[in-house]
Amino acid sequence: MNTTVAILLAQAELASAAPNTIVVGVVAFTSVVLALVVVILLAKKSLVPAGNVTHEINESKQFSVPCGGKLLTALAENGIFVSSACGGGGTCAQCKVKVLDGGGDILDTEKTHINKREAKTGLRLSCQVPVKQNMKIEVPHEVFETKQWRCKVRSNRNVATFIKELVLELPAGEQVDFKSGGYIQIEAPPHVVQYKDYDIDSVFHEDWDKYNVWRYVSKVDEPVVRAYS
């Protein structure tokens, strides 16, 4: 009888202690997580620039932009459209500008397209320069002549199996003063398009059926920019 009572008392003590152990464990785990969050936030505040910075363009134009992102995007958002055929991937090297002050050190991704002599003059790929401090920038004067239009797709017919002729409708009263050697830069908005919805001329159906092109879906989550000469 005494042995049975002792066992029951021990089980009762364990049962009463278990909830307390769980509570202590939860509190300890939560405290550790909160401490880590605080450390991350403090580190982010100390290491990541915040607020706005000022960019001066060709000593004639200034604008203020929030920290973060790339210089190419900041320029475009303020009406200065620098060519970027690769859409900011750092591969086409068309978005070269001179950063005369600020901008930090040249990145390895830029050194493929910019030699040491050019780097000394401040030449940079604007798609790779982070916006985190005031900068003085020099861009080609013809960049200021670049315009941006919101166009409507008038037609997009196939002229070959996988080649299309894109016809865009400009806003009323606008025209492109195109010269040999010039280019246009097209920005496609985010979209989801199924290839099976395309209206393809019957003459190209055989190849489309052969490669089952109809099964593909174009899904773009952010604007895509490409330049065409």
Q: What are the tens digits of pLDDT across the range 121-175?
A: 999 999 999 999 999 999 988 888 778 889 999 999 999 999 999 999 999 988 8
Shared domain for 220 and 154, answered yes or no, is: yes
| Pair 218, 118: CB distance under 8 Å | no
Radius of gyration of the chain (CA): 30
Average pLDDT of the chain is 84
Tokens 């997580």 found at: 33
Q: By percentage, how much of the chain surpasses pLDDT 90? A: 42
Shared domain for 111 and 60, answered yes or no, is: yes
Shared domain for 163 and 176, answered yes or no, is: yes
Q: What is the CATH number of the domain that holds 213?
A: 2.40.30.10
> How far is 30 from 36, CA to CA, in rounded Å?
10
> How far is 4 from 117, CA to CA, in rounded Å?
91
Domain end residue (candidates: 144, 161, 190): 144
pLDDT for residue 4: 58
Average pLDDT over residues 175-191: 82
Reply yes or no on whether the pLDDT at 76 is more than 70: yes
pLDDT for residue 219: 93
Q: What is the CATH number of the domain that holds 120?
A: 3.10.20.30
> Which of these ranges, 5-9, 95-99, 158-162, 183-187, has the smallest mean pLDDT?
5-9
Domain end residue (candidates: 117, 144, 171): 144
The total domain count for the chain is: 3
Shared domain for 179 and 196, answered yes or no, is: yes
Shared domain for 63 and 100, answered yes or no, is: yes
Reply yes or no on whether the pLDDT at 26 is more than 80: no
pLDDT for residue 140: 87
Shared domain for 58 and 93, answered yes or no, is: yes
Average pLDDT over residues 20-36: 75
What's the domain range around 37?
1-48
Domain end residue (candidates: 144, 178, 200): 144
Reply yes or no on whether the pLDDT at 45 is more than 70: no
Shared domain for 80 and 139, answered yes or no, is: yes
Write the pLDDT tens digit of every residue in 85-119: 787 788 888 899 999 998 889 999 999 999 999 99
Shared domain for 64 and 134, answered yes or no, is: yes
Please, which pLDDT band fits residue 216 given cuts at 50, 70 and 90?
very high
Reply yes or no on whether the pLDDT at 55 is more than 80: yes
Shared domain for 57 and 139, answered yes or no, is: yes
CB atoms within 10 A of CB 161: 15
Shared domain for 61 and 129, answered yes or no, is: yes
Shared domain for 79 and 138, answered yes or no, is: yes
Reply yes or no on whether the pLDDT at 2 is more than 60: no
Alpha-carbon distances, residue 117 vs 95, 114, 180, 226 (angstroms): 18, 8, 30, 29
Please, which pLDDT band fits residue 217 given cuts at 50, 70 and 90?
very high
Shared domain for 60 and 33, answered yes or no, is: no
Average pLDDT over residues 193-218: 94
> Which of these ranges, 10-14, 36-40, 159-163, 212-216, has the smallest mean pLDDT?
10-14
pLDDT for residue 12: 54
